[in-house]
Structure 1
Amino acid sequence: MAGLFVFVASPAQYSTVGRSIQLSGSVGGAGSGSVSWVSIQLGAGGPTVKPNGRENWSWQGLIPNNIRPGQAFQIIVTASGVIQTKGWPEPEYETVDGQAVLNVVLENVVPELTVDSFQSPVVVTQFPYVFQLEGSASEAKPEIYGVPQVQYRIGNGAFVAASPVIGNAARWTAGVSVATKGDTVITVQASDNFGSVTTVQKTLTVFEYPMPTEVDPNAKKTLAGVPTTSSITSWTRLEPQCSDADIGASSNARLFDPLWLMTRQWQIGEFQGEDTGSPVQARVRATGALLTRCYFGELPSDNKAPPYDPTLEPLEAVVERRRMRPAGADDSRMLTLAVEAGLHFLRMLERNATAKKYRPAFLAHYVLQPPLTLSADDAGRRFVQTMVGRAPDARRLASAFRQPDSSQIVFDAALNIAAADRAPVQQVASAWLAWYDGLFTEPGAPSQDAWMPSRLEYAVSVATRLSADPQDALTFSASEFDGGRLDWSSFDINKTAGVDTTGDVYPIALTETTMPAPVSFHGAPAPRFWELEDAKIAYGLVSAGPADVAQMLMIEYASTYGNDWFVVPLNLPVGSVTRIDSLVVTDTFGVRSLLRPIGDPELPQPFFSLWQVSILRRAGESLGGDISPSERIGAPVPNLFFLPPTLGRTIDGAPLEDVLFMRDEMANMGWGIERSIESAIETPLKLASDPAPADSAPPPSTALPRYRLSTTVPDNWIPLLPVQPNNTDNAVSQLRPGAVLQPNSTAKPQFARSEVLKALSTQWLYDEEVPREGVHITRRRHMTRWIDGSTWVWTAFRSEVGTGEGSAGLRFDQIEDGGRSEQGFD
């Protein structure tokens, strides 16, 4: 049977269309007939519209509201017409139809709704509690969807329309009134003209604490405003003195005169006590986040930093680590490790039935070769002479097994390993290489080195964020870390430069309910009558004069207020930052008290900065003038507890390298004295550190005068010469390491051999980093275990105070004549 052909030109099949749509197409197959009508149905069972035109039709309009955002639906185009089936002798016509079905998806456009954060929990003296609720509401295509309508409701109440902010249609505001205490759910929803709704819920916690009753304004009060009858003649504690050897009368605790006891109670102020109970439960709510980023070195500005997981790596180890293993076969460091690791490779070959037959080949091909230069100490030379030609060299093995372009180990053809045996031998080599690389932790790239040679100290920055709010992005910088224990006090909050933590894992809420434990200390009064107190410390017997204010305050605190403190434990993960949100204490009478953290905006400005992290203050920056105290540079940041991944205990080795920096005012320069360096067998190699004494006996008076170009200096005294920098860092002067050239016609300079001074070849030392007392740098091995049981071994620098000024006795241009010398210049 003949029929019409309906074509849809736009939009395409299975495409995404907007709420405002434009359809076009054509109808064919009518021939000598005609198209009677065309209709468009929007969705199965939806409304029908008439397009413009018939053979070539088009329509533009809005998708109806019954089709939701993101929903797939059909557009059905139907056409009807007549065609001529017979032309002679009389024409005949037949009614025909045609249909096209277009499958499309409506764009997912819904209102975007945000609710600004508000204070919760809050404490009020009476209800209702009124506050301003604000936020924003917008639509992706306002010209089609319009401005969303915002409504809110309190608890299960009815929805109430919010008011748009004048001059900013995207912002809305509402005056909210809460009449019940406890947790109240506030629901806010935004809807557009097509029935799309977005809902956001917030919880408001309100505590009610009525104001205390009025007291006599003329009555005597304590500093806290509590009425009192105490005076300078009152007592806070009575201690009986019994000189009788028989303690029976004292232990009986007989009461002869109740009135006398009541006067004693009045005397020590017991009648002033409030009807309060002891805390039996404490609920802590906090927000915490683990460290997510770590930047090594001084943080110049906002930077990207590699990810860091404090549960896997101790921060001190990754900050202090230095290069340990030799870089190649020509590096003479740690020869003992090269030999021991090579022998361990032979042992691993022996344990494999297939690979052990290639033990002679590996030993012959990678045997330890004689070094280009022998070790400077006798022990090192004997070790080299003993092991050369007898043990494999792990340096050469590691270089051969590491393939920069492939993860699979490729063996040298000279080993003659059969194709069938390559897999077992590769398995042994891979296991040995993983063991060799995991022995020590070292910086893998210059960006992982936190040591700053120009400052003779470490610098590191760690970062995390407590929420998606940019104000909760925190960067902690330790810019002057000398080595040792890297604790929270080593860090400051960096406000001028930060590490980008956008997109990192957001924190979790911490809630812990526990029983408060009373604080105890030596000499505290016993809480029970029959409990014998410790007699080692008796605060009542401490003698104090009229001017001993500190001792009297200590006695007063221990005797009167010592039992007013309680400890509430809070379990926190290592390497986290925590902010206390609320602390609710329940006492024995069932009364719940809300304790606000220090720094709460509704509390007065605190004058307490102990155990709080400060804001980093750089050289030349002001402490702040007209800005608020909380924004001043160097001011403490309240309510922020930083628990860095600090090591508990480390095993430290003997110093392998010892370098002393000192100033020489006579020579107008500084010296880097290499007192010991690491030998090839990983032991300290002592170097002569004292300058050679001058000639003790003067030449005979009859001898001719002689000229001395300069005095000699020990080879391990490396000069630090002052130079003028390029002023890119506003430095006045810097110290550049030089070399010793002895006046013995050898013309062979003696350069630095220690790792500390070699690091200064690219970065010159700031002049102020070598004060008059000097600097003492040591390098040694450290080992520890981390919380996951892993073992960490690394080499680190330690920066300590030096031994003061010194002199190398360096002088130039001297004329020695008959025991008398005329010096030129220093």
Structure 2
Amino acid sequence: MVLRIDRYHRLESRPGDRDLQNGFAARVHDPLWLLARQWQMGEHQGENASSPVRIDCTVTRTPIAPLAGDPAFDPTVVPAEALVESELDDWWTIGRRVRVGERFAANPATAEAKGVRFLDPPPPYDAFAGRLDGRAIWLGRERLGIAEAAFGGDAPPADSPQAWDSFRLNYNTQFDTAERPLAVIDHHGGPMDWYSADAATESPLAEPAAATAMRATIPMPLEYPGAPHSRFWEIEDANVDIGGYPPDTAHFATMLLVDLVYSHGDDWFLFPVAAKAGHIVTIRSLSVTDSFGKTYSSEDLDNANIKYPGLHAPGDFSIFKCDGLKDESLVLWPVAESPLESAPVERVQFGVDEHSNVLWALERIVDTREVNGVGGEPDDGHPQYPAAVPVSNLSGKRQYTYVPAAGVESRWHPYILDWKAESEPAFTQWGLADYSLQVPRPTPHPEAQVLKAGTAAAPQIHRISAAAMARGGLELERRWQLARDMTGRPVLWVQRQRRVLRNPPARTIRFDVMEESEPVP
């Protein structure tokens, strides 16, 4: 019997060694093996043989024009969210409404006028019940015979153009620039940045303004949590574990992140670019000088006589690409950084109910208060609902039995799908009637602003595009937002934000119908 014993050799630290210089030196006892290993890993190809030490670039800055040409709506000063999401008459806070109303306390035109006083305002403003409402007086000034001069310095400023699309339940607007108009399409409310706008491709792309003088900067390595440090003995942050992200095919973004960290984690460099908020910033030319004194310039791309043809922009990779603009252009908005927001002023939920075959719009919060199934009287100013169209043949004699509806709630507003719409299939707002009472009466009209269309002077029936409705339903909220502009002044506006629900609101309901019955002999 032969007993074979294998001996394993391993390197271990010497805890008794007090000389730290040997550890920092990191001596290699077999340099030939190290060179062979470097050759095997392709490190002798010289792909990362140098580092950039100087950047020279020229930049153009094209300003974004104010909305409607009004300097008060200048995107170089005012946050983009306030310009796009601002509602009509959102200048009227409760304090301004009370203060302006006090101006007309002795005016005989408001003494017996209807609809110019606060009716059950939300807490904590319920103490102003019965006081004059300055906004109501302003909107009804022609009816009351009050001139605008009577408001003095309390007259509201001009409103920004209304960008809310009540049909598609999103924001749509356009900003003009010298290069191309920037279109904000299908904005659901919330933060805005470069990804919120696309250049209108139907307009020709004009050349930007004259470039600034070439500026020299010093590039710095990109640093982020978990990135490998360039120094030999520098330890990474122990609280960030890049390997903790699962690099599987179901998480493609994490696969790219892990590949970036472990293959090119210390190959990215940053350099500052002088820019201004509210501008389209474009890098016209770029020149990089490395640690060996070699210069790579973007202007040498078409010169075939140069051995190193310069800087090539990636043709299939972009991080901040704005459609319709050049690859080297970036849209910079002044955004509302962490704005203060109020409690929901309104919250309305939408959902297609297959049992009732309608789209329900359910008012959850109206005027900052949670509401139940009890509503007020129908609004006389609401437009008339579409007339009912019979779907059966009424030429012959029939006998019907009337069956009243059941399960009707005043805060549940039905929308009927209209397949014969002129533009596209849409849900049209209808009304319900409560026939469980001795004297049937229609349910109140919607109070939430998101369920209204048109203007106060010319109201319209609210319609919703069928393509805008998600399978699980939607939720719309209105909130006050408070931020500051580029000069530090406060900016206040009302934001509408759309979210997708997991489950749509639904209820079992039976409509009032006429059921055909057997003729009485």
- The normalised TM-score by structure 1 is 0.47
Q: How does 1:223-234 map to 2 (within 5 A)?
A: none
In structure 2, relative to structure 1, the CA distance for the partners of 1:662 and 1:725 (3 Å cut) is same
Residue of structure 2 equivalent to 1:105:
none
Task: Report the alpha carbon displacement of residue 549 of structure 1 after superposing the two structures with TM.
Answer: 12
1:721 to 393, 402, 416: 416
Q: How does 1:555-566 map to 2 (within 5 A)?
A: 558=261, 561-566=264-269
Alignment check: 8 A CA contact 1:294 1:460 kept: no
Q: How does 1:241-280 map to 2 (within 5 A)?
A: 242-246=12-16, 248-249=18-19, 251-253=21-23, 260-269=30-39, 272-273=45-46, 277-280=50-53
Alignment check: 8 A CA contact 2:79 2:335 kept: yes
- Counterpart residue identity of residue 777, structure 1: L
Please give the alpha-carbon distance, in whole angstroms, between the structure 1 residues aligned to 2:501 and 2:252: 39
1:686 to 356, 371, 379: 371
Residue of structure 1 equivalent to 2:159:
443
Task: Report the alpha carbon displacement of residue 739 of structure 1 after superposing the two structures with TM.
Answer: 1.8
Task: Report the alpha carbon displacement of residue 605 of structure 1 after superposing the two structures with TM.
Answer: 7.6
Alignment check: 8 A CA contact 2:301 2:311 kept: no
- Counterpart residue identity of residue 319, structure 2: L
Residue of structure 1 equivalent to 2:74:
309
1:770 aligns with 2:469: yes
Alignment check: 8 A CA contact 1:664 1:806 kept: yes
Residue of structure 1 equivalent to 2:360:
671
Task: Report the alpha carbon displacement of residue 714 of structure 1 after superposing the two structures with TM.
Answer: 0.8
Alignment check: 8 A CA contact 2:65 2:74 kept: yes
* Aligned-pair Cα RMSD in Å: 4.8
In structure 2, relative to structure 1, the CA distance for the partners of 1:533 and 1:688 (3 Å cut) is same
Residue of structure 2 equivalent to 1:129:
none
Please give the alpha-carbon distance, in whole angstroms, between the structure 1 residues aligned to 2:416 and 2:48: 75
Alignment check: 8 A CA contact 1:485 1:646 kept: yes
The DSSP-based 3-state class of the residue aligned with 1:313 is coil
In structure 2, relative to structure 1, the CA distance for the partners of 1:377 and 1:578 (3 Å cut) is closer
The DSSP-based 3-state class of the residue aligned with 1:316 is helix
- Counterpart residue identity of residue 292, structure 1: A
Alignment check: 8 A CA contact 2:182 2:198 kept: yes
Please give the alpha-carbon distance, in whole angstroms, between the structure 2 residues aligned to 1:550 and 1:313: 34
Alignment check: 8 A CA contact 1:598 1:606 kept: no
Alignment check: 8 A CA contact 1:289 1:507 kept: no
Residue of structure 2 equivalent to 1:804:
503
In structure 2, relative to structure 1, the CA distance for the partners of 1:644 and 1:242 (3 Å cut) is farther
- Counterpart residue identity of residue 223, structure 2: S
Task: Report the alpha carbon displacement of residue 371 of structure 1 after superposing the two structures with TM.
Answer: 5.8
Q: Could you give the per-residue CA deviations for residues 633-683 of structure 1, whole angstroms, max 9, x where no partner exists?
A: xxx8522211123222211111111111111222222121112211xxxx3
Task: Report the alpha carbon displacement of residue 443 of structure 1 after superposing the two structures with TM.
Answer: 2.9
Task: Report the alpha carbon displacement of residue 259 of structure 1 after superposing the two structures with TM.
Answer: 6.5
Q: Could you give the per-residue CA deviations for residues 558-592 of structure 1, whole angstroms, max 9, x where no partner exists?
A: 45633322111112111111222221122334322
Q: Could you give the per-residue CA deviations for residues 43-96 of structure 1, whole angstroms, max 9, x where no partner exists?
A: xxxxxxxxxxxxxxxxxxxxxxxxxxxxxxxxxxxxxxxxxxxxxxxxxxxxxx
The DSSP-based 3-state class of the residue aligned with 1:474 is coil
1:646 aligns with 2:332: no
1:456 aligns with 2:169: yes
Task: Report the alpha carbon displacement of residue 289 of structure 1 after superposing the two structures with TM.
Answer: 0.5
Residue of structure 2 equivalent to 1:735:
427
1:520 aligns with 2:214: no
Please give the alpha-carbon distance, in whole angstroms, between the structure 1 residues aligned to 2:241 and 2:292: 34
Aligned residues: percent identity?
23
Please give the alpha-carbon distance, in whole angstroms, between the structure 2 residues aligned to 1:793 and 1:638: 35
Alignment check: 8 A CA contact 2:55 2:287 kept: yes
Aligned length: 458
Please give the alpha-carbon distance, in whole angstroms, between the structure 2 residues aligned to 1:792 and 1:549: 40
Please give the alpha-carbon distance, in whole angstroms, between the structure 2 residues aligned to 1:709 and 1:750: 18
Residue of structure 2 equivalent to 1:493:
199
Alignment check: 8 A CA contact 1:675 1:689 kept: no
The DSSP-based 3-state class of the residue aligned with 2:181 is strand
Q: Could you give the per-residue CA deviations for residues 119-164 of structure 1, whole angstroms, max 9, x where no partner exists?
A: xxxxxxxxxxxxxxxxxxxxxxxxxxxxxxxxxxxxxxxxxxxxxx
The DSSP-based 3-state class of the residue aligned with 2:343 is coil
Residue of structure 2 equivalent to 1:338:
97
Please give the alpha-carbon distance, in whole angstroms, between the structure 1 residues aligned to 2:347 and 2:286: 51
- Structure whose residues are more often strand by fraction: 1
- Counterpart residue identity of residue 297, structure 2: L
Residue of structure 1 equivalent to 2:447:
753
Residue of structure 2 equivalent to 1:283:
56
Residue of structure 2 equivalent to 1:107:
none
- Counterpart residue identity of residue 741, structure 1: A
Alignment check: 8 A CA contact 1:664 1:807 kept: yes
Please give the alpha-carbon distance, in whole angstroms, between the structure 2 residues aligned to 1:596 and 1:408: 60
Task: Report the alpha carbon displacement of residue 515 of structure 1 after superposing the two structures with TM.
Answer: 0.5
RCO higher in 1 or 2 (8 Å CA, sep ≥ 6)?
Answer: 2
Please give the alpha-carbon distance, in whole angstroms, between the structure 1 residues aligned to 2:12 and 2:53: 37
In structure 2, relative to structure 1, the CA distance for the partners of 1:523 and 1:598 (3 Å cut) is farther
- The normalised TM-score by structure 2 is 0.72
The DSSP-based 3-state class of the residue aligned with 2:97 is helix
- Counterpart residue identity of residue 457, structure 1: N
Task: Report the alpha carbon displacement of residue 394 of structure 1 after superposing the two structures with TM.
Answer: 3.7
Please give the alpha-carbon distance, in whole angstroms, between the structure 1 residues aligned to 2:349 and 2:292: 66
1:593 aligns with 2:296: yes
Please give the alpha-carbon distance, in whole angstroms, between the structure 2 residues aligned to 1:549 and 1:457: 30
Please give the alpha-carbon distance, in whole angstroms, between the structure 1 residues aligned to 2:25 and 2:91: 84
Alignment check: 8 A CA contact 1:740 1:751 kept: no
Please give the alpha-carbon distance, in whole angstroms, between the structure 2 residues aligned to 1:524 and 1:640: 28
Alignment check: 8 A CA contact 2:182 2:199 kept: yes
- Counterpart residue identity of residue 720, structure 1: Y
2:491 to 792, 812, 821: 792
- Counterpart residue identity of residue 611, structure 1: F
Alignment check: 8 A CA contact 2:342 2:480 kept: yes
- Counterpart residue identity of residue 369, structure 2: P
